[in-house]
Amino acid sequence: IGVKLTQTDTLVLPQFELDSVQAESVNYQPAVVHYIRNRAAAIAKGITLDVTIYDRSGNAAAKIHKENVDMAPNSVMPLAVLTENSGLWDNRDNEDSGSGTDLQIGKPSGDLSPGDYTSEVTIRQDGQEQTFSQAFTIGSVQAEQINSAMPGTADVPLNRLLANLLIAALII
């Protein structure tokens, strides 16, 4: 059972801001996480969020749309945009990509691409709309660290692999 106590009849509206945008590993998957803050002492209910991430040339590399999101007062909400099926992937394994740094939406190959991006976040609630834009950079070292955190990307020594195959053959 929840109780809401107020000390005034004055309506307090949520006040949103975009704290930061950064590349991270979320549940062992590369993602771009947006930290959205509600600075007011007001519950935000039924928020609609639209996030579009643009690459350096202005092409949309990733998009998400969320509806009916609630946010607590005086809080920060991490909103992750998973890079799977977005243009934030390095397409070096695609035959069409050419140089290996082309960004194409919907053709993931498994690696987060380093580069300069701009994220645009639009928050809608009760007929009000706020839009925030923030540039961010994914460095090559950062991309490599995030990519190596994905399952199945750890290097297995050849002798260990051969030993496991030999044991499996002996058992059969």
* Digit-coded pLDDT (tens) for 25-38: 888 888 899 999 99
Q: Indicate whether 133 pLDDT > 60.
A: yes
pTM reported for the whole predicted model:
0.73
pLDDT at site 124: 97
pLDDT at site 96: 37
Average of pLDDT values for 96-118? 53
pLDDT at site 92: 38
DSSP 165: H
* Residue that wins the pLDDT comparison between 92 and 119: 119
* Residue that wins the pLDDT comparison between 70 and 166: 70
Q: Single out the residue of 55, 88, 73, 92 nearest to residue 15, CA to CA.
A: 73
* Band of residue 67 on the pLDDT scale cut at 50, 70, 90: very high
DSSP 28: T
pLDDT at site 141: 92
Sheet containing 16-26: give its strands across: 16-26, 29-38, 75-82
The three-state (H, E, C) secondary structure of 86-110, written as one string: CCCEECCCCCCCCCCCCCCCCCCCC
- The answer for residues whose C-beta is within 8 angstroms of residue 36's C-beta and 6 or more apart is 16, 17, 18, 19, 49, 71, 76, 77, 78, 79, 121, 123
Distance CA 7, CA 41 (A): 12
pLDDT at site 91: 40
Q: Indicate whether 149 pLDDT > 80.
A: no
Is there a contact between 34 and 59 (Cβ–Cβ < 8 Å)? no
Kindly report the CA angle at 141 between 139 and 143, in degrees rounded to 5?
65
